Amino acid sequence: DVKVTQSSRYLVKRTGEKVFLECVQDMDHENMFWYRQDPGLGLRLIYFSYDVKMKEKGDIPEGYSVSREKKERFSLILESASTNQTSMYLCASSLDSFTDTQYFGPGTRLTVL
C-alpha cells in the first residue's frame, strides 16, 4: 500500500519567513509532485521531479523552489513566504510513467500571516 506522508498537517508562518514542506513516499516511486489547491482553481502543479536531483517547473513555480536529494523525499521551499501563498499544499508520487496513478499525501494547510 503506497504511503505518502507530509511533515505537517497545519502550519502558520509570518510573511517573509522561509518555509520548508517535506514529503516522503515509501514505494520507490520515480516521480514526485507538489501541488497547491485553492477554491475555484483546483489543483495546480508547482514543481515536479522525475529523478533524484532533477526538477521541472510546473504551472506556478514563482516564489517556490524544490529539492530532491533522495528518491523518497521531495521538499518544497518558500524562500520568503507571502500571504498569497496561503493554501493547501499536496504532495504526490507516481511510479514511473506520467500516466501512472498519482498517490497523494494528506496535505499541509499553510497560513501565512
Binding status of residue 13 toward another protein by CB under 8 A: no
CA of residue 59 relative to chain centroid, distance: 13
Query: Looking at beta carbons only, is 20 or 98 nearer to another protein?
Result: 98
Please list every residue from 18 through 47 that binds another protein, using CB under 8 A: 33, 35, 40-45
Binding status of residue 113 toward another protein by CB under 8 A: no
CB of 107 to another protein, least distance (A): 6
Residues at the contact surface with another protein, assessed by CB under 8 A = 4, 9, 33, 35, 40-45, 48, 56, 58-59, 90-92, 98-99, 101-107
